[in-house]
Amino acid sequence: MKALRETTGLPVNVVLLLDGEEESGSPNLRDAVKACEEELSADIAVNSDGPVDESGRPTVVLGNRGILVIQIDVSGPDNDLHSGHYGGAAPNPAWELNKLLGTMKDESGQITIKGFYDDIRSMTGQERELLDQIEPDSDALIDNLDINGFQDEPGDSFLEKTLYYPTLIRL
């Protein structure tokens, strides 16, 4: 934008909206946008997010996955219970939460929450071909991330898993 502004000029009005809370779910973004709704009115929005492609080529992503944040509160006794007196009899909130979290994915990595995948449409052959053209080297990525492999979730490739299917993470 700076180069355009200093040479030929910007051909359109541009508004930059910087979100410094993106990694924590942008808790104040909605109110900020609402307060400036008229100034932010636009025909198009460009979201600049994500890593630079390892090839260095510019990429344009024509959609984003959303986020659904759910808070789970567990509670237990009003005070500490001595394990020698109550352990094994009184429910332990930590273990109850562990059991609940264990029900949210099956053995194949599918999220088991009812309706979670309802609005996912099948990939077209053309979409798959386009993803294949920009797919990073899986082995190099696994090495760079220092992980043993990718999760067993829907999607055949890294980009299909990260760009196409929703995921369930723990915050």
Tens-place pLDDT, residues 63-104: 677 666 778 888 888 888 888 898 889 988 989 999 998 899
The pLDDT of residue 148 is 94
Lookup: tokens for 129: 């071909």
Tens-place pLDDT, residues 128-138: 998 898 888 99
Instruction: Give yes or no for residue 41 having a pLDDT over 70.
Output: yes
Record the pTM. Answer: 0.60
CA distance 58 to 11: 21
Q: How many CA atoms lie within 13 A of 56 on its CB side?
A: 0
In 12-57, which residue ranges form alpha helices assigned H by DSSP?
A: 29-35
Lookup: tokens for 38: 């008229």
Tens-place pLDDT, residues 145-160: 999 999 888 888 898 8
Closest listed residue to residue 157, CA positions, set 146, 168, 169, 142: 142
